[in-house]
Structure 1
């Protein structure tokens, strides 16, 4: 009985170790192009996070096809400086393999994407395109 339990524990530990070895690292994103769409906070402005998460971002992600590696959605909660206003109320980020492929995929849908803004916000986003270094 003790041997069976010990063997089971060893198998469990081996499977956990295997899982940990396969865990993605920050370096997995290295070289990807990151498109951050940042929505500045302003008193009295609206942002419908539920719509953004369930409709807008999935729509844009579908336009990107296989060039899209992943996307994230962030909800601003505080400024990094105490007692200062929140800088951004939301940030949507697309990680893609190729900037030129991203631009080709978005170009025919640009008007559709912009027209959808009115469904979730009245804020003009700030967009930053960068390359992941680490």
Structure 2
């Protein structure tokens, strides 16, 4: 199993509409990726590691697939639509990481 993490870095200039992300963008992604998507989660950053520190990321979306190939085949045909929705909720360029789930 693999996890695709879409992480939105925090900064003073960053804007992010978490309600749009959770209620519109994520359901769009889920509907487009179909059965290849095994699970998903959204994290909303609230604090950093030390008291008073801002979170490193405003939000993170995590998508689980059986393999990198399964992700690429389900995402590729819809990449333009999914990525085209980003300006509707953020001005941040996300960082993407694909990880192998070990535990």
Quick check: TM above 0.5?
yes
CA distance in 1, matches of 2:72, 2:21: 21
Rounded to whole Å, the distance in 1 between the matches of 2:24 and 2:81 is 13
Distance 1:126 1:113 in 2: 15
- CA distance in structure 1 between the aligned counterparts of 2:96 and 2:51, rounded to whole angstroms: 25
Structure with the largest fraction of helix: 1
Query: Which one has more relative contact order, counting CA pairs under 8 Å at least 6 apart?
Result: 2
Deviations 1:16-54 (A, max 9, x none): xxxxxxxxxxxxxxxx21000000001132100111001
**Residue in 1 that maps onto 2:94:** 125
CA distance in 2, matches of 1:58, 1:70: 12
Higher strand share: 2
User: Are residue 39 (structure 1) and residue 8 (structure 2) matched?
Assistant: yes
TM-score normalised according to structure 2 size? 0.93
Q: Please, which runs of 5 or more residues in structure 2 have no aligned partner?
A: none
Aligned pairs, number: 103
Which entry has the higher C-alpha Rg, 1 or 2? 1
